[in-house]
Amino acid sequence: MEPLTWTGSFGNVLDPIFQIVAGLFLVAVLAQFVGAYVFAPINDHYNPDGTITRGKGANASIATALRYLLLALCAIVAVYIVAGVFSPVGTVGILGAVAKQFSPVWIALLATFLLSISYKRRLGLYGKLFDSTVGMIGFALVMFWVFTAIFVGIFDMIAVHDPLSQVSRMKNKLPGTPLPSIEDGQYAFYLLGGDNLARDVFSRMVHGSVIVIVIAPFATLFAFMVGITLGLPAGYFGGKLDTFLSFLANLVLAFPVILLFYLLVTPEIVATGIPNYMATVLFVFPIIFVGILLNSRFYTRPKLRNPLLSGVLLVMIWIYLSAISAPGTKINLLPGAIDLFNINSGILVVFVSVVFVNAPTVFRIVRGLVLDIQTRDYVAAAQTRGEGPWYIMLWEILPNARGPLIVDFCLRIGYTTILLGTLGFFGLGLPPESPDWGTTINDGRKLLAIYPHPAIVPAMSLLSLVLGLNLLADGLREESLRD
Amino acid sequence: MGLFILRRFGMMLVTALCLTYIVFFMTNLYPNLEKLAKTQGNFRMSEEAVDSFLGDRGYLQPTPIKYLQWLGVLPGFSKELEDGRLLGKCVRPGVAPEDTPRYCGILQGDWGFSTVSKAPVADVLGSRLANTGKLMFWVMVVMVPSALVIGVLAGMKEGSRTDRSLSTVSILSTATPEYVSGVIFIALLASTRNGLGPWLHELGLIEGKALFKGTAKSAMDGITFKNFTLPVVTIALYGMGYIARMTRASMAEVMTAQYIRTARLKGVSFRNIVMKHALRNALIAPFTVIMLQFPWLLNGVVIVETLFSYTGFGWQLVNAAGNNDIEMLLAVSVVSVFVVLVTQLISDIGYVYLNPRIRIS
């Protein structure tokens, strides 16, 4: 079979157009940049009847041209994708075949955007996100990977080969290479090439997204639980507690992250059970947080509180015990029959160290916010009403600190993704054959100058996810500042 | 002010002690010591052999005692074997037993002996730090001016198109960790088969087939544009975006201040407003950010030195951690803690010095 080219026969028509438009777009970007300093600024004219007349001039025409070129560029990319989805494999080359594999993701993305945009006025801060272009682009990038992870992880759809199986004679093959012999039901191509162990780069990349999308948000959430549960009292009560906790936070922050990883994530340390003990401590915080949250709210209504609190705590403690106890490790509390799930020890140690690194920063942010919000009148009013300190912290201060915290949450997921990549890059924690992006980059970098594709593909994926999260955070910040 | 600095120094000392104790504890856990014994002796040692190897060298004493020996408060462990060989913490190859000092810790200026490099830690680490110093110098030279220019240009007209495109660039650079940008750079610029190199070679613009070198090994002997550009740019890029964004925020805030409006109403030209009135105040915040960026750069240094195989401080960290070179790791952590805390101190002092409105109570 013929190897696939990048855009196939379809590209013969569209490629030149794409190149011309892309070239013009770059020229326009440069022109805009230079124009801002060379030509006169755009002067919009405010008419007496309240309308605005757009100013004319070189800068205004450049801006218009730029907007249309960008639209044209997006339209052409969309044509590639649509053509790829609806034509047989090979017509639109590698791009089309990849787009075809991602078709469930496109449908899910389209549905999300259509629904969200049509109801955006009723959706609060989330709906406001769809007012900012930057926020929408970021959201699209993030959701692309979230949907990919869902479809790969739960429905096993997008990947074309097994991420671990090797096919002979496919070692380091270029993107679009057909398999030498095709068995029944096997996909005929290595879409993005083969790596140095003859595995499919594309399938490994999409399987890697599952690991990142599962660990990064959860680890960030746990770091937030720890940071909030400790940061609120530190900021609110101050004094010795604050000094002590701040000292601990600064201690962890003074550690070079990579040294910490090397100390925590080696097999020798895992054998001593230290990560398990750390998990035991760190996983308690969500229970404390939810417990105090509910108790402080329903303290005055014991009839509702007692069943609610005991029910919620029971379930959480059960999940907690299942999470920390696993057969064969130092902590094995629950008998197998009621142990709900076991966390892979490699994943657990990565998870714990990432939470441990992130929590002190969250602590500092929360503490700073509390110190600021504490001086507001509504806090004084609550104190006068005789509310307890925990009620004030969790139900007066925390909701009012949500804006910066949500923005930081998005940024921090991105940072956690980078940390996970760093761990993989140094070969720490996850097993060496794991398809996560950091490990794959580490695998691919040895032959980078000759065969770049095994490392470039996961590198670009990681970049796009982190970029999406940063843009999303930027959009959220802009929109939350507006009200 | 004197008292403030004194208190900060006290704090630094306590933090450094705590951190080194944690590193000491982690590296002295039994599985790590077992690994050390097996790499130093041989891999097929029996358990008894491991125990006697560790016991003879004093590794099996309680951790606090070993820690105090490392500090130089307690006399170093020593033991004479049956065949008359002297083993112990203070014993160095080539030093006669009668010349071996009783105390050999940090307080005596002895940083210990690297079990991997078979050389005193201070000598090895010194040369590594010199290498990293060169790298950091060039990173600063590239990163700081470009970040400040981008930030000021973006912040002086907040919301303009220039601002938006520059902000997008800085977001893009903060979203690109070193191991991603390094990989992309090597594939695009340092390959003889792909990317720009072969293309430029065909056009006759460059001599070799690759534009830059993918490793910085030759940079240890002499830094050239070819072998040092990629490591420097890779580190600088990640830090640049963050500093640029901070500069932009600070510049945008200054541009809305009352005195800038007064200057405008007075008829001062935009160029003069930016250069003479706004810039000086806008650069206070980035100063502290740049100082606090040092610890982050340390991370970048570790990744980039590994990626480009440049034997500096970061490379040494990875090497020492991978082989459980205890005393080297301790020295590495002391150095990095020192860097983190000193830059914090400088940023605090500098902030007060640059901004007369703030006084330490």
Sign, CA torsion A453/B201/B179/A268: positive
The pLDDT assigned to A67 comes to 87
Partner-chain residue, chosen from B179, B187, B190, that has the shortest CB–CB distance to A456 = B187
Q: How confident is the model at residue A398 (pLDDT cuts 50, 70, 90)?
A: very high
Taking CB atoms and an 8 Å limit, are A456 and B194 in contact across chains? no
Residues A86 and A221 in one domain: no
Distance, in angstroms, between B353 CA and closest chain A CA? 23
Q: Quick check: A244 pLDDT over 80?
A: yes
E strand or H helix that includes residue A46: strand A45-46
Residues A93 and A216 in one domain: no
Q: Which residues of B touch A418 (CB under 8 A)?
A: 177
Taking CB atoms and an 8 Å limit, are A251 and B18 in contact across chains? yes
Q: Does any domain span residue A292? A: yes
C-alpha torsion angle, residues B152, B157, B159, B163 (rounded to 10): -40
Task: Count how many domains chain A has.
Answer: 2
Between B354 and A347, residue with greater pLDDT: A347
Between B284 and A206, residue with greater pLDDT: A206
Q: Is any Cβ of chain A less than 8 angstroms from the Cβ of B210?
A: yes
Q: Does any domain span residue A50? A: no
Residues A75 and A224 in one domain: no
Residue A481 has a CB neighbour count (10 Å cut-off) of 9
Q: Does any domain span residue A397? A: yes
Q: Which domain holds residue A2?
A: 1-40+55-101
The pLDDT assigned to A44 comes to 73
Q: Does any domain span residue A62? A: yes
Closest CA to A356 of A226, A215, A265: A226
pLDDT, one tens digit per residue, over A35-71 is 877 777 777 777 888 777 777 777 888 888 888 998 9
What is the b/e burial string over B144-160, where b = at least 16 CB atoms within 10 angstroms of the residue's CB? beebbebbbbbbbbbee
Q: Which residues of A touch B238 (CB under 8 A)?
A: none
pLDDT, one tens digit per residue, over A132-189 is 888 899 999 999 999 999 999 888 888 888 888 888 888 888 888 888 887 777 888 8
Residue A91 has a CB neighbour count (10 Å cut-off) of 17
Distance, in angstroms, between B245 CA and closest chain A CA? 11
Q: Is any Cβ of chain A less than 8 angstroms from the Cβ of B198?
A: no
Residues A86 and A205 in one domain: no
Q: Record the tokens describing residue B170, joined without a space.
A: 């800085």
> Using CB atoms and an 8 Å cut-off, which of residues 145-174 of chain B contact chain A?
160-162, 165, 167-168, 171-172, 174
As a whole number, mean pLDDT of residues A434-449 equals 88
Nearest CA in chain A to B340: A254
Q: Which residues of A touch B23 (CB under 8 A)?
A: 259, 263
Q: How confident is the model at residue A425 (pLDDT cuts 50, 70, 90)?
A: very high
Q: Is any Cβ of chain A less than 8 angstroms from the Cβ of B29?
A: yes
**Mean pLDDT score of chain A, rounded to an integer?**
88
Q: Does any domain span residue A402? A: yes
Residues A94 and A232 in one domain: no
Most B-contacting residue of A448, A472, A477 (CB-CB within 10 A), to test interface: A448
Taking CB atoms and an 8 Å limit, are B176 and A466 in contact across chains? yes
Q: Quick check: A483 pLDDT over 70?
A: no
The pLDDT assigned to B219 comes to 75
Most A-contacting residue of B179, B330, B332, B336 (CB-CB within 10 A), to test interface: B179
Can you tell me the distance from the alpha carbon of A199 to that of A190, in angstroms, rounded to the nearest whole number? 9
Residues A208 and A321 in one domain: yes
Q: Does any domain span residue A407? A: yes
Distance, in angstroms, between A252 CA and closest chain B CA? 8
Contacts of B184 (CB under 8 A, 6+ apart): A456, A459, A460
The pLDDT assigned to A228 comes to 94
Percent share of chain A, pLDDT over 90: 43
Q: Which residues of A touch B192 (CB under 8 A)?
A: 449
Partner-chain residue, chosen from B19, B184, B321, that has the shortest CB–CB distance to A254 = B19
Beta strand ranges found along A340-483 (DSSP E): none
Regions of chain B where pLDDT drops below 70: 356-361
Residues A96 and A205 in one domain: no
Taking CB atoms and an 8 Å limit, are A441 and B179 in contact across chains? yes
Between A314 and A189, residue with greater pLDDT: A314
Taking CB atoms and an 8 Å limit, are A421 and B214 in contact across chains? no
Distance, in angstroms, between B135 CA and closest chain A CA? 18
Query: Which position has the token pair 């078709």?
Result: A103
The pLDDT assigned to B358 comes to 61
Residues A241 and A369 in one domain: yes
Q: Does any domain span residue A471? A: yes
Partner-chain residue, chosen from A258, A444, A455, that has the shortest CB–CB distance to B302 = A258
Q: Does any domain span residue A389? A: yes
Partner-chain residue, chosen from A33, A251, A272, that has the shortest CB–CB distance to B162 = A33
Partner-chain residue, chosen from B29, B179, B317, that has the shortest CB–CB distance to A425 = B179
Q: Is any Cβ of chain A less than 8 angstroms from the Cβ of B235?
A: no
The pLDDT assigned to A229 comes to 94
